[in-house]
Structure 1
């Protein structure tokens, strides 16, 4: 019998109950959840590989009904495929993620990727570009991740991921919302690259995506102030409140959610977390995004 989703079936496996406990089939779903347990580019304390499983486990303890939108995440048409394999090297993992993401996009489904460190965004966005075409990337992150090398001599890491995406894909635009930490090198690159923009007001953000045909969201949990998200590899003070992030996402998705082809949530590190508050926040944000996407008229 011919497999409907050969890459998904070959490379994913369930290591935890599905997100929010939802059991479903991929062919009946409009959104596919994939865990990317990868932290090989972590430069402080590794542990992001444990995040997909921990976030799923914590999601089972949360109330999944959205009072404002009058929808339960358990009723949303999504399928949790499980996680990509841990027991492979860097290049193999990136290649597998690219193949799985390409398959999801080629079937017209939305990809929801749970990282993992931020480098997992690279093959996911590249798959979107090669499969669907020009894509506009919204990044919510404390950092720009536009370094050329980090650490010195390393071209591919969580701190270089956006630089590599821009260099390797001329049909990509990136818009950041309220980043707060950058190097002098990144500041110079930002000034020289016309395909990158930083905005600080929601109105600017919404306007910037008015003409974008395809949108991908990348959310680094360290965009939230470390007082509310301590389980991150590189905590950066003076961050956003969780409510602010949720409100920005809600307004953005209300305006442009019909054109979202995929999103990821990355950099949760359960090893550094306190009482699972970062994992719980990540699960709640995933719930908010999924429910909002499926309540759009």
Structure 2
């Protein structure tokens, strides 16, 4: 029988959902074509259809903080569309994240495109409400300004958190055109506000020209470690993972991923591309090396679909978000079902 009394069963996505271990999962793609129906992340149920969510995918379609190419406001829908092809078992991490916890799509937050402080405040309030209710977030941006209110939300519950920041850029500059809140400043503000643990913060994948050597000096003063894209190439994924795990330890960890950490060959659809970046394989393997750490939240930002030929960036971002959800299923020894 259809979930709606006047809706044929063949038109009801809920009638074809996978339910495993009591958790409502994605639409069964063996019964409903992947390209039909609402484009929720990985075809997951909406947050309004369940009583509690362990993990929520939250869209933040906003890019008023960019300094070069705009368009990341369309990132969440682009990533969701690419995620239709994701399947429920992750062999790389040997986990079925949707069968071990309740994962949902929480939709998009309505953020004012003309008022930066208001938009950041609304996102912070929304995220904090969900986190306080026991839901971990994987947020889809949107530009990197959004990382600041998201860090505020996890710090409100967990205290200052460890931070792994995957990005071509430092994002610790002071201001742009006198503006303190932009996509190039969130992690300087985070340090100033005391919401990150400065003994366990690190950039990964940085590269490209800077304004001067002072940028690096200030960044080190804030406490950041730096593992460049060249370090990943020369030292290899396993060594990078070992160094990151040692730096983070068992602290609550937030993972922030600017998709421009990938080389433009792997992620052309972004606002500030830089040559010489990570491959999508390297990024995914580094993330998988974080299995078992106490991850409390994450974001994937700066996907700008207008520049994304053949959906390369959207596909990469959807897999990154999927692995982040899988890592959340494996924290604290793992409750994800194999």
With normalisation by structure 2, the TM-score equals 0.76
2:217 alignment partner in structure 1: 188
TM-superposed CA distance for 1:17, in Å, is: 2.5
1:148-187 correspondence runs (5 A): 148-150=174-176, 152-169=177-194, 171-173=196-198, 174-181=201-208, 182-184=210-212, 185-187=214-216
Q: Can you list the C-alpha shifts for 1:11-50, whole angstroms capped at 9, x where unaligned?
A: xxxxx53111111545332111110001001122211000
Question: Which of 207, 224, 249 does residue 246 from structure 2 map onto?
Answer: 207
Q: Say if 1:210 and 1:50 are closer, same or farther in 2 by CA, change over 3 A.
A: same
1:137 lines up with 2:163 in the alignment: yes
Aligned length: 277
1:276 matched to 2:311? The reply is: yes
- Bigger drift between 159-168 and 222-231 goes to 159-168
Which sits farther off after the overlay, 162-171 or 237-246? 162-171
- Identify the residue that residue 284 of structure 2 maps to in structure 1: 246
Asked if the contact 1:21/1:74 (under 8 Å) is kept, the reply is no
Q: Where does residue 147 of structure 2 map in the other structure?
A: 121
Which residue of 116, 119, 123 maps to 1:97? 123
Q: What's the C-alpha RMSD, in Å, of the aligned pairs?
A: 2.1
Alpha-carbon separation, structure 1, partners of 2:316 and 2:92 = 18
Alignment match, 1:3? none
Task: Give the distance between the partners of 1:58 and 1:288, measured in 2 at CA.
Answer: 14
User: Does the CA contact (< 8 Å) of 2:144 and 2:302 recur in 1?
Assistant: yes
Query: 1:174-233 deviations in whole A, cap 9, x for unaligned?
Result: 21123213432321202323x322244221111001142x11000010111111100010
Deviation at 1:140, TM superposition (A): 0.7
**Take 1:60 and 1:94, find their aligned partners in 2: how far apart are those partners?**
29
Conserved? CA contact 1:225–1:237, under 8 Å: yes
CA shift, 1:294, in A, is 1.5
Residue 21 of structure 2 is matched in structure 1 by none
**Which position in structure 2 is the counterpart of 1:20?**
42
Larger Rg: 2
The equivalent residue for 1:11 is: none
Q: Distance in 2 between the 1:236 and 1:64 partners? A: 33
Within a 5 Å distance, the mapping from 1:9-88 to structure 2 comes to 17-23=39-45, 25-72=49-96, 74-75=98-99, 77-87=102-112
**In the aligned structure 1, how far is the partner of 2:297 from the partner of 2:195?**
19
Indicate if the aligned counterparts of 2:79 and 2:318 stay in contact, CA closer than 8 A.
yes
Q: Deviations over 1:68-109 (max 9, x none)?
A: 344445545211110011455322211110101111221222
The residue number in structure 2 matching 1:221 is 259
The alpha-carbon deviation at position 172 of structure 1 amounts to: 3.3
Q: Which runs of 5+ in 2 are unaligned?
A: 1-37, 232-239
Aligned residue for 1:178, secondary structure, equals strand
Farther-moved stretch of structure 1 (18-27 vs 214-223):
18-27
Aligned twin of 1:261:
296
Distance in 2 (CA, whole Å) between partners of 1:192 and 1:95 is 28
Between the aligned partners of 2:61 and 2:175, the Cα distance in structure 1 is 23
User: Is the CA contact (8 Å cut-off) linking 1:177 and 1:205 kept in structure 2?
Assistant: no
The structure 1 residue matched to 2:326, chosen from 280, 291, 295, is 291
